[in-house]
Structures are given as C-alpha cells and as structure tokens.
Amino acid sequence: MKKFLKNDAVQSLIASLLCILMGLLIGYIVLLFINSAGAGNAILDVLKNFMKTSNPERRVRLLGATLVRTAPLLMCGLSVLFAYKVGLFNIGTAGQYVAGVCASLYAALAWGWGWLPCMLFAIVSGAVLGAIVGFLKAYRNVNEVISGIMLNWIALYTSNMILTLQKQEASHYTLKLKENAPQAILPSLGLDKLFNYDKVSIAIPLAILLAVAVYIVLNRTKFGYELRATGNNKNAAKYAGMAEKRNIILTLIISGGLAGIGGAMLYLTDIEQWSVTATSVPGMGFNGIAATFLGGLNPIGTIFSSFFIQHITDGGPNVDTNLYCAQISDLITAIIIYLCGFVLFLKTAMNRAIDRSAERKAQKEKALAAEKGGEK
C-alpha cells in the first residue's frame, strides 16, 4: 500500500483529485454566502456541463463543443509544460497563442492559404515570439516571465492591428472563414458527423498525438534527456557540456510553436471570430498553466486535465442567472482552476505525511520489540 502511495503517478492523480475537490468546496462556500438556496444545484450544473441536457443528440453536440476548445487548451498546457521541464516558466504562452491566431487567420483570409500552411504559419509565429524570449534569456539573462508578459501585450495589440484589415464591416469581429476562406477550415474526417457538430475537426486527434509526441521527445530522446537534465540541475548540465543557451532557445521555440498551433486549432474551425477590439489577452494561455499543473506535469495527464478544465469552463454558463449574477460562473470556474495549481504543494505534503507515518511505525515496532525483549 505504502509503495503504491509512493508511486509518482498515483500521487499526482490523488493530488489532482484533491485539488478539484477543494476548488469545488470553496466555490460551494462562496455560493452559499451569495444565495444559499441554489448553491448545491449551481455547483452540480457547472460539473454537469453537457450532461445537463436530457436530449442525447444535444449532449453529444455539447461534448463536441467542449472538445473543440479542449484541443487549443491542451496545446497551451503542453507549451507551458515543455518549458517548465527545462526550468523555464513560459507565461508568454498566452501571447504565442495569440500570434498563432493572428497568423492563421490572416493567412487564411488575406492570402487564401489552405488549412495546413495556415497552421504551419501559426506554429512559426508562436515560435518566433518564443525565440525572442529565449534569446533574451540565454544571452542577456532577462527573466522569461517579465519578457513573456510584455510580449503578450505586444502580441495582442499587433494582432488587433493586423486583423483589423480582415474584419467584418458591421462589427469588430474578423470575417467568417466559412464564407470568405472555406479552404482554411480544418478537415473533420467524419468527426463532425460523429458529434453532429461541424466544428469538430482533426484538431482534437492531432492535439492528442502531439501530447504523446511531447511525452516521447521528453522521455525517450537525447534532446529530452538534455532538457530534463538542464531543468533538474542546470549546473550539472553545464558540467556535462550540454549547450545550455542553445537548449533554452530551442525549448522556447518549441514551446511557442505549441502555443501557436493551439491558436490555429481553435480559430481555423470557425467556431468563433477574433474581436479586434480585445483589450485582454485570451485566458487560454493562462488556463494552460493550470492544465499543466493539474495534469501532474505529465503530457498524458495534461490531456485529461485540459478536458476537465474546459468541461467546467463550458459548464459555467449553466448556473441559474436568476439566483446568481452572470459573472458567478466565471468566478466558480476560476476558483477551481486556481486551486488546480496546488497539485505540487499537495504532493509534497503527502510525501511528508507518508514519511512521518513510516517513522512512527518503525518507532512503534522498536518499542514493541524492546518490550518483548524485556519480558524474556
């Protein structure tokens, strides 16, 4: 049993579940304070998301909608994770994601590119942004969090400026792909029929494949060996002659590329259009941080945690707005996501508790043995 509990994967899973539970509990308490009558139902509504409707066809369709948004979230999660394994906190994921959105939409609408080149262009854009952070970190030792945050804003307003050239006349949204650039819409491979929803595309299986690829690169290749060594012990990596600067830059390029493709995965489905008057960086990149930690810093775990986070995000609007103000759904999901960041903390606490109980047991055994010895 103890050995089972000592297993890293098991610990991550338990810690993640505990975090979710704590988040739900605190969310519930907040709801109780606002209006005690509907609190229980409200939490259940958030958790149910697509399960709330009894119509099976609608259920599948809503599940599909959640999956469409899970794919980009997973990419942002992988982006954060990849950098984190090398000891870098890439908060610039949010901006790299925006760069991906901008590149893919502009290439589709202005130049009439197909979906694949659009997607590749999105990767390159995110990667370029990541490379800037990487160069600054490697050669000028600029903190990646600071340069990342500042680049987020630069990316946001640059994208707004560029995409204004492709916006609908009557609104502040970009043109719809369906009418203006159907060649750029991601192919669905029949998944749209399965979910009865035309926005479900190859982005979803592709995202999962990329998660597996990230896992393989990190754990099975020479490159991953170097990266994780650098993340675990920078000095030892240097001592072993690993090219530290090159690895930092490459890592942030890959991390940026992952975020960039995430932007393309959402906007090339035409599920939504970019608002060129946006004044805040989309939450997708930041939620990626929560997804990574909730997923136990494991690419495969991040697949499930991304789905969960998107699941409750989509479940949020189910909350009865007659009882609660409209913002409450965002607040509850935000609380749960926030608590998701506590996974590492809980893991440490758990390990300590296990060690302590082992110590106590050993002591008791010794005392027992001593007693027995005394009887003889």
Partner 1 sequence: MEAPYAIEMLHITKRFPGIIANDDITLQLKKGEIHALLGENGAGKSTLMSVLFGLYQAEEGVIKKDGKEVQIRNPNDANDLGIGMVHQHFKLVECFSVLDNIILGIEPTKNGFLQKKEAREKVMALSEKYGLAVNPDALIEDITVGMQQRTEILKMLYRDNEILIFDEPTAVLTPQEIEELMQIMRNLAAEGKSILFISHKLAEIMAVADRCSVLRKGKYIGTVETKNTTMEQLSAMMVGRNVNFHVEKKPQHLGEVILDVDNISVASKVHKKDAVKNVSFKVRAGEIVCIAGIDGNGQTELVYGLSGLEPLKSGHITLKGQDITNASIRKRSTSGMSHIPEDRHKHGLVLDYPLEYNLILQRYFEPEFTDKAGFLKRGPIRSYADRLIEQYDVRSGQGAVTPARSMSGGNQQKAIIAREIDKDPDLLIAVQPTRGLDVGAIEYIHKQLVAQRDAGKAVLLVSLELDEVMDVPDRILVMYEGEIVGELDPKTTTQEELGLYMAGAKRNEVKA
Give contact residues for partner 1 (rule: CB under 8 A).
Answer: 220-223, 225-226, 228-229, 232-233, 235-243, 355, 358-359, 362-363
Using CA atoms, how far residue 296 sits from 121, 150, 221, in Å, is: 31, 28, 21
Beta carbon of residue 372, minimum distance to partner 1 (angstroms, whole number): 18
On whether the CB atoms of residues 80 and 357 are closer than 8 A, the answer is: no
Beta carbon of residue 235, minimum distance to partner 1 (angstroms, whole number): 5
For residues 202 and 242, which CB has a smaller minimum distance to partner 1 in the complex? 242
For residues 57 and 355, which CB has a smaller minimum distance to partner 1 in the complex? 355
> CB-hemisphere CA count at 13 Å for 263?
35
Beta carbon of residue 355, minimum distance to partner 1 (angstroms, whole number): 5
Residue 60 and residue 38: Cα distance in Å, rounded? 27
Beta carbon of residue 240, minimum distance to partner 1 (angstroms, whole number): 5
Beta partners for residue 167, in sequence order: 174
For residues 57 and 359, which CB has a smaller minimum distance to partner 1 in the complex? 359
Residue 75 and residue 81: Cα distance in Å, rounded? 10
Q: Closest by alpha carbon to 25, among 350, 290, 338, 336? A: 336
For residues 227 and 284, which CB has a smaller minimum distance to partner 1 in the complex? 227
Alpha helices in 35-185 (DSSP H): 39-48, 56-85, 93-111, 115-140, 144-163, 177-180
For residues 326 and 367, which CB has a smaller minimum distance to partner 1 in the complex? 367
Beta carbon of residue 357, minimum distance to partner 1 (angstroms, whole number): 10
On whether the CB atoms of residues 323 and 35 are closer than 8 A, the answer is: yes
